[in-house]
Amino acid sequence: MADDVFSQKYVLLKKLAEGGMAEIYLARQIGIGGFQKELVIKRIHQKLADNQQYVTLLLDEARIAANLNHPNIVHIYDIGRAYTTYYIAMEYIHGPDLADIARREIRRGTLVPPQIAAEIVCQVAEGLHFAHTFRDKDGLPMRIIHRDISPSNILVTYGGICKLVDFGIAKAQTQLHDDTGVLMGKLGYMAPELIEGCPPDPRSDLFSLGVCLHEITVGKRLFVGDDRTVARKILSQPVPPPSLFVEDYPFELEVVVMRLLERRPENRYEDAQELLEDLRDLMGELGWSTGPAPLGHYMTDLFDLDAEDVDPDDILVEDPPLDLDDDVEIELGPDDPTLKGAPPVGPDDEPE
């Protein structure tokens, strides 16, 4: 019966990606009167459908993210069980992830401009603040922490809207299920307190966002090495300022980066709202344009699109993130290790 309901609602168009936990499909939702809508179906592997840990991750992702109705967070439309496994139907974001943006800049010998990086971080901060302060229907704070902020989980539409995706390991006070002490997420973006086993905190997400900001404006991985080395660097080694790598790096932006990357949470921004206000003030002082429009112009230029063919309201599509245990590598520089977790290079995006 569930299989029939699924086939009446959704048509799978093509597989977009496959990870250790799930398959990601571009799909079309169909309805009466010729209604159609493109979306993404994230379907857990059938071989894992009987594994309660994996099912729990999928259900928690849907349950948490479905409550977060915000322009900078991917929307969840539906969850169900069909063909002996579970699925989530989610918004399809028309645009690449931040890792692919950084990679494309490096291929043309440049870096993500600081004003563009600042705008992206501002929009992500808006989404994070909404999640961090979200209250349930009874007015009780859920205290949702993403815990996996990384370039592959920040998508940017060609209309200039940033979308935060993959709440699969988000931690909420009201979450029914807890992990068993195993570190989850991408180690190179993990806040020191999480590595040390402390409870997640909104400022943990800000540290991860600081790593993203450092990397895309410098073009190098910040914490390099095997897991033990990366953990040691995060916990004990001084963070190199961006100006060490990039001449004329804006001093004001560097102050923001280094505050985000403070080892002790109390030395970072108090919350995402404070970060947002600081960055917006900085952008105003430096005369940097703000909002989706300049970011959209940047995206259409970077990806060689005709701006007239891009609808700024076409905020559909998730170039989907791979799953927690995936480890797809992309080059960030000739001698550098790689950003991990980005989607595979498309046929039109092969390195020259």
Nearest CA among 267, 240, 266, 273 for reference residue 254: 240
Residues 221 and 292 reside in one and the same domain: yes
pLDDT tens, position by position, 135-169: 988 898 888 899 889 998 999 999 999 999 887 54
Q: What is the pLDDT of residue 310?
A: 52
Residues 212 and 185 reside in one and the same domain: yes
**Among all chains, which residue has been given the structure tokens 């917006």?**
280
**Among all chains, which residue has been given the structure tokens 């990357």?**
261
- Active-site residue flag, 271: no
Round to whole Å and give the CA distance between 46 and 85: 5
Catalytic hit among 148, 205, 271, 319: 148
Instruction: Flag whether 38 is in a domain.
Output: yes
Can you say how many angstroms the Cα of residue 94 is from the centroid of all Cα atoms in its chain? 14
Instruction: Flag whether 258 is in a domain.
Output: yes
Helices in 145-220 by DSSP H: which ranges?
192-195, 202-218
Residues 15 and 82 reside in one and the same domain: yes
Question: For the CA atoms of 67, 69, 72, 76, what is the dihedral angle to 10 degrees?
Answer: 60
Residues 116 and 17 reside in one and the same domain: no
Last residue of a domain, one of 66, 90, 114: 90
User: Are residues 202 and 226 in contact, defined by beta-carbon separation less than 8 angstroms?
Assistant: no
Which residue numbers in the chain have pLDDT < 70? 1-2, 58, 61, 168-185, 307-352
Q: What is the pLDDT of residue 168?
A: 56
Residues 83 and 220 reside in one and the same domain: no
Q: What is the pLDDT of residue 347?
A: 33
Q: Which residues span the domain enclosing 84?
A: 9-90
Q: Where would I find the beta strands (DSSP E) of 246-328?
A: none
Number of domains in the chain: 2
Residue 320 identity (one-letter amino acid): P
Last residue of a domain, one of 72, 90, 108: 90
Question: For the CA atoms of 42, 43, 45, 46, what is the dihedral angle to 10 degrees?
Answer: 180
User: Are residues 72 and 126 in contact, defined by beta-carbon separation less than 8 angstroms?
Assistant: yes
Q: What is the pLDDT of residue 137?
A: 86
pLDDT tens, position by position, 210-221: 999 999 999 999
Question: Exposed, middle or buried: residue 348 (CB in 10 Å: 0-12, 13-18, 19+)?
Answer: exposed
Q: What is the pLDDT of residue 119?
A: 98
